[in-house]
Chain A
């Protein structure tokens, strides 16, 4: 898109104060990016104002009826890139009426 391809003078670039790698050194930038990709990858990208959902710790209080659907919903988050752990603690023993569910969601890729 035109908005992302427009050029700026190197003087106005923040990177001009940081890098000796010059904007016209296309091969050098491409090589540096290739090396950096071994350390860092953009696996998904988020919209402005929306924090990445990969570092969630939560405590939920759900009643007995809701427990199954809520845990199922949480477990659906599990996958190769996301690890979800949930611990359920019953309230009201011997007949549990409420559960405290402690959830830890981590991005496994980092």
Chain B
């Protein structure tokens, strides 16, 4: 169990940080200068082990996943193993031929949309980025790929959500995901301001209003942690009582931790990109994922639960008008502040 529930056990894969853009809010500081990438063979072996550990969905992001040539092959391999698949993209590199390669294996294409066209272009650090992305949507529809948009909520852009929702609906999107900005990576360099808990409350009111307005046409997903929900179900924030060691050791990893993140440097970490290396579950170059996962359950899982419990204790108390918070940011920050010894030093990945 975790924040994404106990049904969908998801792995987010960053095969490369290479990107055609250099967005101001990029948490992974991706850009054209990034060269390294993970090998598809290594990822295929990992996914076979991960399926045995109970994971059933993957999401490819980056970097821009469309710059990673083996993307269609990995999606096809994942599908053959029974994984649901999604790709998050800025949309600019889409083409009819690329979509034809992806469409048979892709469950959902999520395209980043940062506000009205001027705001989108500014956040993307690229003139005409919005119009270029919009021009690709005809290709996406023609390929029959279900698609949605991801909107990054900052301290000051809530008024643009109304326009974004109307645009998403008019373009035929099935999903609009609203995620709070996190002040890491390039967002920290540009001093972009994330929404505080008060702005998250206002955001909830606006999302609820828009969901009512677009009911049956578009699904809005607001990615904030609800303290009332966690208080009722602490296991959603990994804050419930720890299972006995033999129970944890005998459980598939997906029953203990989801989401899982495969970073571009080969580390497999819990919850979020940039999570403290001391809590890492495995490294793709350090042998069998299954064996590393078994060791993590014995040696690191109790420390992970301890960390999650401390984070929940820190954030659980809040006034009634501030029920929402960005739990992912809180636990990732805490994981860096409470380091534990890393697993080992990996050999260099393919470049």
Chain A contacts to B: CB under 8 angstroms: 1, 3-8, 12-15, 17-19, 21, 23, 26-27, 29-30, 32-33, 36-37, 39-62, 66, 69-70, 73-74, 76-79, 81-82, 103, 105, 107, 110
Contact = CB atoms under 8 A, between A and B. Distances in A.
Contacts of A105: 84, 107
A14 B221 CA distance: 19
Contact of B229 (A43, A56, A82): A43
A48 B226 contact: no
Given A15-B158, A47-B259, A3 B328 contact: no
Contact of A55 (B148, B179, B211): B148
A46 B221 contact: yes
Given A1-B329, A44-B236, A53 B159 contact: no
Contact of A18 (B82, B110, B152, B159): B159
Interface of B: 3-8, 10, 12, 27, 51, 56-57, 59, 61, 79-82, 84-86, 88, 104, 107-108, 110, 146, 148, 150, 152, 154-160, 174-175, 177, 179, 182-183, 193-194, 196-199, 201-209, 211-212, 219-226, 229, 236, 259, 261, 271-273, 311, 314-315, 319-321, 323-330, 333-334
Contacts, number: 236
B229 A48 contact: no
Contacts of A5: 196-197
B205 A19 contact: yes
Contacts of B194: 3
15 contacts: A1-B325, A4-B326, A7-B198, A14-B156, A14-B159, A18-B206, A26-B321, A33-B201, A33-B205, A44-B5, A45-B4, A48-B182, A48-B223, A70-B80, A70-B82
Nearest to B8: A53
Contacts of B80: 60-62, 66, 70
Nearest to B228: A37
B101 to A, nearest CB: 14
A65 B327 CA distance: 42
Contact of B205 (A12, A32, A110): A32
B314 A1 contact: yes
B224 A42 contact: yes
A43 B229 CA distance: 8
Given A48-B27, A49-B61, A62-B80, A54 B225 contact: no
A15 B175 CA distance: 23
Contacts of B110: 51
Contact of A59 (B4, B104, B327): B104
A34 to B, nearest CB: 9
A73 B56 contact: yes
B107 A56 contact: yes
Contacts of A13: 155-156, 158, 198-199, 202
B337 to A, nearest CB: 10
Contact of B208 (A6, A40, A45): A40
